[in-house]
C-alpha cells in the first residue's frame, strides 16, 4: 500500500492530525476505534494511523508481522514508538491474560515453577506439587469410592 501517493497524502494527514505529548507520543486527534486505535481514510478505505505511520516513516510492514506500540498507547503514531514484531511477541508484550500468565513464575496456588517445568498436551505449564496432589486425590477417590 505504501506507494508514493500514499506516503505523500498520509504524511500530510498524520502530521496535521497529531498532538505531540510530553511523553513523546504523537497522539492521534482524529477518529479512534472502540479498541483505542487511531483511524483515518485513504481512497475511501479505513486505515489505522499507527500502521500508516510505520509505512510512511519506516517503510513497508514485513509480511506476517504486527506493529507494536512500545509506549503501550494505541492512539500513538510516533514512528520511534512503533516496532514490527510477530503476533506472539506483540501478545506477550501486552497486559492481557496470556501475557500475564506467561510472565508468571508460579502456579495459581503460588508454587514456584522449577526450571524445565513440565508441559501439558496444549503446552501449558504443569505445577509438579499441584499435579501430585491431584493424583493422590484421584487415587484416594478411586480406592474408597468417595471424595473425602
For the chain, which residues make up each domain, given as ranges? 4-144
Q: Determine contact, residues 80/21, Cβ cutoff 8 Å.
A: no
Is the pLDDT score of 130 beyond 60?
yes
**Which of 139 and 55 is assigned the larger pLDDT?**
55
Q: Determine contact, residues 55/61, Cβ cutoff 8 Å.
A: yes
Task: Return the SS3 of 26.
Answer: strand
Tell me the Cα Rg of the chain.
23
CA distance 39 to 10: 11
Is the pLDDT score of 2 beyond 80?
no
pLDDT tens readout for residues 74-115? 999 999 999 999 998 998 888 888 777 777 888 888 888 888
- When the pLDDT of each residue in the chain is averaged and rounded to a whole number, the result is 90
CA distance 81 to 68: 8
Instruction: Tell me the whole-structure pTM to 2 decimals.
Output: 0.72
Is the pLDDT score of 148 beyond 60?
no
Amino acid at each position: 500500500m505504501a506507494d508514493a501517493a500514499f506516503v505523500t497524502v498520509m504524511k500530510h494527514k498524520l502530521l496535521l492530525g497529531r498532538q505531540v505529548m510530553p511523553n513523546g507520543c504523537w497522539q492521534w486527534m482524529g477518529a479512534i476505534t472502540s479498541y483505542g486505535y487511531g483511524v483515518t481514510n485513504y481512497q475511501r478505505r479505513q486505515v489505522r494511523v499507527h500502521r500508516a505511520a510505520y509505512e510512511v516513516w519506516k517503510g513497508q510492514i514485513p509480511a506476517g508481522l504486527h506493529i507494536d506500540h512500545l509506549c503501550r498507547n494505541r492512539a500513538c503514531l510516533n514512528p520511534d514508538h512503533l516496532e514490527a514484531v510477530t503476533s506472539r511477541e506483540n501478545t506477550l508484550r501486552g497486559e492481557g491474560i496470556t501475557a500475564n500468565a506467561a510472565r508468571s513464575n508460579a502456579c495459581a496456588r503460588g508454587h514456584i515453577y522449577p526450571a524445565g517445568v513440565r508441559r501439558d498436551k496444549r503446552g501449558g505449564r504443569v505445577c509438579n506439587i499441584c499435579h501430585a496432589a491431584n493424583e493422590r486425590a484421584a487415587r484416594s477417590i478411586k480406592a474408597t469410592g468417595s471424595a473425602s
